[in-house]
Each structure stands twice: as structure tokens, then as C-alpha cells.
Amino acid sequence: MSNKTLITTAIAYANGAPHIGHAFEFVMADTLARYSRQQGDTFFITGMDEHGQKIQEKAKEKGIDVQDFVDAYAEAFKSLDKELSVIPDYFVRTSDKEKHYKGAQAIWNKLVENGDITKEKYKALYCVGCEEFKKDSDLNEKGECQAHLKAPEEVEEENYFFDLPKYTTRIKEAMVSGEMQVFPKSRENEILAFIDRGLEKVSFSRPRSKIGWGIPVPGDEEHVMYVWCDALSNYITAIGYGTESFDNERWSNTTHIIGKDILRFHAAIWPGMLLSAGLALPKKILVHGHITSGGQKMSKSLGNVIDPNEVIEMFRPVCGDLAGEALRFVLLHEIPSFEDGDITIDSIRASYTAHLVNGIGNLTSRVMKMVTTNGVTLGQPKMVTLIEDNHDMNLALKQVMNRMRTLDEYIASNEPFKVIKVDEVKGKEMLYHCLSELDVIVCELVSFMPRTSAKILECIRENKMPESPLFGRL
């Protein structure tokens, strides 16, 4: 089996600032990527989905050039990534004409070559207010658009369609056989049930008159690619699809990390496209839940939106350049990896105090004080990884925290600070044990909190106390 792997996040839609849900996904993926790098050649990508009608309109509303509009959001996401110690090997942008356009057009051509993309006329209900097609289920009892309380008009449009139903059986088989694994199992069941209800052809283009901002359909100036071929293809264009340098070996060992809202696109449409293009299916699709606040979906009207940057700024005065990692920790520790999670500003503060201030921060000061005053050193810190490879970052982190608690217990019950006064040899032995345990803990923590771990390792290596408490009180 290949050692090379690709880890991806979903690419963020560039029509708004990053929110806490984005932060969670990035942090989870980056942690997994760091862990994966300890075991082999890992390439980690994240990025932006920058096309589409909504973006085009918003930019127009604000009276700015679309490219400038998406550039600004790309910078906002990159800056958040940096704070959170999320460091991708490549940052995808679908407006990138060099790499992405060419790759997306290459896969389009491949699907055409295979006879899976055809032009078809269809009738649909279109709400002018929403500028969107509506299904019967989107309408109220009177057959009106729920948002605009107006009956949609029937329009006829000609678009390209992808023959997804053709791949129904193979997609199902891939899931059942484990060729493409969807975690958790309940999500796999969900998608299998969805497929069993019958897949339909998927519309793959929009008339240029409707969406000008997008990738042109090869050989047809009148049409622009719709989101599927444009956005989903980022995962392969990022590693060179459509060029000589495409790394097929890496592609064959891919893990996608996505939210539950986009499961279908990744576990049905995307595999269909890959099969048509003759490419391997993703090995794993890890599906996380959504974050609620105070038991409710975050929304501006409820006023319970948690802005990741605001949280970081809340931490900044008490832990400086570790502020982003404090949020990173809280997300990983408080949100289950595969279910919905709930956080509030209060629970964020509580988690920070309990586990970072009173936990890792205090433990570091505690151990380092004892070993530095008594001249106990570790020599070369060893690199160990004891975390089980179960994809559950939340569980894995809790195991690390458990180990910390055990060390605190050891110190309390063995009292090396007392022993050292009456029996130096025995006392030093105990302190050495404390120091090497701290070392192990930090090595385990390195994927979760890289900067924090580096700081503590530096203390261990140079036999010194942290200059100031790592995590100060809020």
C-alpha cells in the first residue's frame, strides 16, 4: 500500500467571513494531517470555492470587482488558518485560472469523452426573487415560494447534465465493500438509503447569461460550469490533475473531511464523476456534525453567533501567540468528532480554564519548577506517538488529557518535592519520571497543539521554566 496520502477539507464558499464551523473543520483536518505526517508522506489541502451566482451578486451589490471580493475572503480564511496553526501544503482557489481552470476543464472533457455529459432541455419552476430553481417541496400549500410568497414561473432552459444514475451500482458497491468508507457508519447508511431512492441526472452547467463568474464549459461559450465540476474537482486539480504532474498514487489514498450538509455531493456525485473519469474513489470520507450554540443553530437573528476571531482575541491578552491554539484545543476537546456539538462563550471559557490553565499550563510550570531547581534533565526528548489511529480526534485528545491527570495524581501521592529533601537519589528518580511523563504527554499533544507543544519541548530541552505561564487566567 502506498505511503502517500491526501487529506482535504471542504473548500469554503467565499461569500462570507469564516465562522466557528469552518474553524472546527480546519482544526480537525489539520490535526489529522499532522498525525498522518508522523506516519508517512502526507499532503494536506484546504481552500476556497469562489464561483457562483451568489458571489457574483454580492460583489455587485458592494460595487466591487468579483475577483477583489473573493481575494478579500481568501485572505480572511488564510489568516484564521494561521492563527489556528492550520498549515495546508496547498491552498486551493477555484478562481485560479492557471491550475484549477485547466484541471476542471480536463475532468469535464474526460466525462464528455466517456459519454456521460449531455445537453438537455428541461422545464423547471424558477423563483425570480430567489433567482433559484424550486422543487415542489420548496413551495408552500399554495404553490408559492416560501420566502417571497409568489408563485414561481415555469422556465425552459438548456443545460448540460451528468449521467449519475449510470454509476449507482458501482458507488453502492464501493461503499459496501469498503473501497470507499464513510464514517461514521450512520452517515453511510444515510447515503445508501438516499441512493436506493434512485439517483437522477445532475445539472452540470448554467447559461453564461445567468452566471458569468465561473469556469467556461470547454467548447461552449454559452455555458459555465455549475458548482459540481467546478468545486468538487478542486481535490484533484490541487495535486495537478490535467497536467503531467498529477499524482495518481497520492490521489488513490485520499481522506475527505466534510460536514454532514455536503455528504451527498461527496458520497454520490463526486464518486460518480471519479468513476466516469477513471480515477480512484476517495478512501475515506469523514463526516463531522454542526456546531450549535446554546442548543440552537447559530444565527444572526438569535444573536448567538460565535466568531472565531473574536474568541481568539478574547484569549490573546492571557496567552499571546497561543490564543489561536487555545481555540483549537477547545474545539477539539468540546466538539465530538462525528456528531453535532454545542458551545457557548461560557463553555469555551470553562474549557480553557479547566484544561489549559489548570491542566497543561499548570502542570508544565509545576514539573519544570521542580526539575529545574533540582537539576534534573531529560537529555534528548523522545518522539512517541501513542494515539490510536481511529480518526476520532476528540477521543484521542481526551486520552492525552487523561495522561496529564495521572501525572498530577502521581505528584500528589508520591510527593517528590518532599522526598527530594530527605532522599536526593530517590527524589531525583521521581522527578525524572515526572519529566519524562511530561515529555510523552507533549509528544502526544503535538498534533493537537503544535505551537504549545514546541514551547514546552523547548523548556524540557533547555531545562527552564516557561517565561510566563503558558495559559493565563481569563
Partner RNA sequence: AGCGGAGUAGAGUAAAGGUAACUCACGAGGCUCAUAACCUCGGAAUGUAGGUUCGAUUCCUGCCUCCGCAACCA
When the beta carbons of 42 and 55 are compared against RNA, the nearer one is 55
* Angle ∠(442,444,445) on CA atoms, nearest 5: 60
Choose, by CB under 7 A, the member of 37, 109, 114, 133 that binds RNA: 133
Bridge partner list, 134: 125
Interface map 390-419 toward RNA (x if CB under 7 A)? ---------------x--xx-xxx-x-xx-
- Measure the CA–CA gap between 75 and 53, rounded to whole angstroms: 21
Interface map 82-121 toward RNA (x if CB under 7 A)? ----------------------------------------
- Measure the CA–CA gap between 203 and 377, rounded to whole angstroms: 65
- What's the sign of the alpha-carbon dihedral 246, 250, 252, 256? negative
Cβ partners under 8 Å of residue 245, min gap 6: none
- Measure the CA–CA gap between 220 and 212, rounded to whole angstroms: 13
Choose, by CB under 7 A, the member of 259, 271, 282, 450 that binds RNA: 259
Segment interacting with RNA, rule: CB under 7 A, options 5-13, 145-153, 207-215, 239-247 = 5-13
Q: Helix crossing, 308-319 with 66-83: angle to 10°?
A: 40
Is 422 one of the binding residues for RNA (CB under 7 A)? Answer: no
- Measure the CA–CA gap between 52 and 104, rounded to whole angstroms: 15
Residue 439 C-beta: closest distance to RNA, Å = 17
Is 238 one of the binding residues for RNA (CB under 7 A)? Answer: no
Sheet bearing 220-225, strands edge to edge: 205-207, 220-225, 216-217
Q: Which three cell numbers stand for residue 298?
A: 447559530
Is 370 one of the binding residues for RNA (CB under 7 A)? Answer: yes
- Measure the CA–CA gap between 415 and 433, rounded to whole angstroms: 12
Interface map 304-343 toward RNA (x if CB under 7 A)? --------------------------------x--xxxx-
When the beta carbons of 97 and 135 are compared against RNA, the nearer one is 135
When the beta carbons of 142 and 197 are compared against RNA, the nearer one is 197
Phi, psi of 53 (to 5 degrees): -60, -45
Query: Which residues contact RNA by CB under 7 A?
Result: 10, 12-13, 15, 21-22, 54, 132-133, 135, 137-138, 164, 186, 189-190, 193-194, 197-203, 226-228, 259-262, 264, 268, 290, 295, 336, 339-342, 350, 353-355, 357-359, 361-362, 364-366, 369-370, 405, 408-409, 411-413, 415, 417-418, 469-473
